[in-house]
Amino acid sequence: MGGLENGATNNQNSSPTTTKPTKTSLSPDSMINLDQGDPTLFEPYWRKMGDKCTLVIEGCDLMSYFSDISNICWFLQPQLGDAIKRLHRVVGNAVTEDRHIVVGTGSTQLLMAALYALSSPADRHPVSLVAAAPFYSGYKDQAEFLRSGLYKWEGDAHTFDKDGPYIEVVTSPNNPDGAVREAVVNRGEGKLVYDLAYYWPQYTPITQPLDHDIMLFAFSKCTGHAGSRIGWALVKDKEVARKMTEYMQISSIGVSKESQIRAAKILGVLGEGCRTADSENFFEYSHSILKERWERLRNVVKNSRVFSLPKYPRDYCNFTGKYMDSNPAFAWLHSKEDIDWERRLREHKIIARSGERFGASPKYVRISMFSPPEAFNLFLERLSAIIDNTNGNVVT
């Protein structure tokens, strides 16, 4: 999750372009933006689906605010709720039985709704909000943006030592480092929100259906459709779901029905592809792309005495029925040299995000694995050149 979902920034060097990234022609001198988490990498798959995902919306359709007034989340389109439940059952990554589904404009809005639902205006002090470092860089920005008196960003869960209530956001697999996470603080007055945007088979083995009180998912990272701005929460407690819905009602009076029915259609096609032998499985397709990219990146980095990458254990994936490696959406690149690698990579016309933004050292940078093929290829060429020219030493 994030302001511009999970990684885009408003930096003048990383503003969105109006052309399709997969069509961009880069010159050898082009600046490569690997800061953004824009998942257009998966566009070719959906182009091959042709009319399977096409919708026709007439002028008289979807005019009411309301979708299902009997539902706590009254603006949730029933077909989207059904598609979400079916897909989670097929993939086996989350329990949906006896859960309330709250839909949001991306999982970013849902996190804010969860913070609202889990805090209380009656408390004398704001509830503490923490996440284990390295944590997603957007959490701090989101928590501090409105200067709310309901909650206060307290940073790294590993060093949190205040008494009283707290909310811990557990991101698993983690953004930026791809690690599988559990809660850190584990005290009686704590409440947990699980950000599971990347708990899908293209990124990590699906080891079990997760069963937490609040679980957030993002359409953007599941299928690549970031522009639809759809996320959903699976919520156990009825009152928490009601308060999250109240937040959505006050902040945006619901969520676009056009986006919801498009998401329902695409999730349905995705789920059908998982069940039909003669269809190309989206998760297998996207996993193969990420796996190939990770193999190429690791082959470059292994020749360096300066850079290193995390190692992920192989695990059995219940969805694929075999042991798999993790292939996270971001590479957490570490330098053994005491230097600001975001600045140094920028000198080589590579835009990455510093580890400082994630509560870590500037010796780390986050590299998006979602970039268009031309940009990724050029990145590997430049990284190889840095390694070759320095023979494992820092370029000065």
**What's the whole-number mean pLDDT along residues 256-274?**
96
Spacing of C-alpha 98 from chain mean position = 25
Burial class (CB in 10 A: 0-12, 13-18, 19+), 168: buried
Query: pLDDT value at position 91?
Result: 98
- For residue 320, pLDDT beyond 80: yes
Torsion of CA 191, 197, 199, 204, to 10 degrees: -130
Could you give the percent of the chain with pLDDT greater than 90?
82
- For residue 23, pLDDT beyond 50: no
- Which CATH architecture does the domain made up of 61-275 adopt? 3-Layer(aba) Sandwich (3.40)
The sign one gets for the Cα dihedral 92, 5, 184, 194 is negative
- For residue 250, pLDDT beyond 90: yes
Query: pLDDT value at position 278?
Result: 66
Query: pLDDT value at position 184?
Result: 97
CATH 3.90.1150.10 given to domain 9-47+281-392: yes
How far is 354 from 16, CA to CA, in rounded Å?
Answer: 20
- Whether residue 77 contacts residue 257, with contact meaning beta carbons closer than 8 Å, is answered with yes
Q: Which of 267, 225, 216 shows the shortest CA–CA distance to 244?
A: 216
Ranges of CATH 3.40.640.10 domains, the chain: 61-275
Query: pLDDT value at position 18?
Result: 34
- For residue 356, pLDDT beyond 90: yes
Mean pLDDT of the chain: 91
Question: Crossing angle of helices 106-118/238-252, nearest 10°?
Answer: 120
**What's the whole-number mean pLDDT along residues 194-217?**
98
pLDDT band of residue 303 (cuts 50, 70, 90) is confident
Query: pLDDT value at position 47?
Result: 96
CB 325: neighbour CB atoms within 10 A? 17
Give residue-wise pLDDT tens across range 118-153.
998 888 899 999 999 999 999 999 999 989 999 999
- For residue 17, pLDDT beyond 60: no
**Sequential DSSP letters for 21-68:** GGG----TTPPEE-S----GGGHHHHHHTGGGG-----TTSS-SS-S-
Q: Which of 158, 71, 72 shows the shortest CA–CA distance to 113?
A: 72
pLDDT band of residue 25 (cuts 50, 70, 90) is low
Q: What SS3 class is residue 351?
A: strand
**Beta strands 330-335 and 364-368: pairing type?**
antiparallel
> Alpha helix (H) ranges present in the chain?
43-48, 78-91, 106-118, 138-145, 219-223, 238-252, 257-275, 282-301, 341-347, 373-390
- pTM score, whole prediction: 0.92
Place of tokens 């998401």: 263
Ranges of CATH 3.90.1150.10 domains, the chain: 9-47+281-392
Q: Which of 174, 199, 204 shows the shortest CA–CA distance to 326?
A: 204
The vertex-36 CA angle with 33 and 38, nearest 5°, equals 115
Residues in the chain: 396
- For residue 161, pLDDT beyond 50: yes
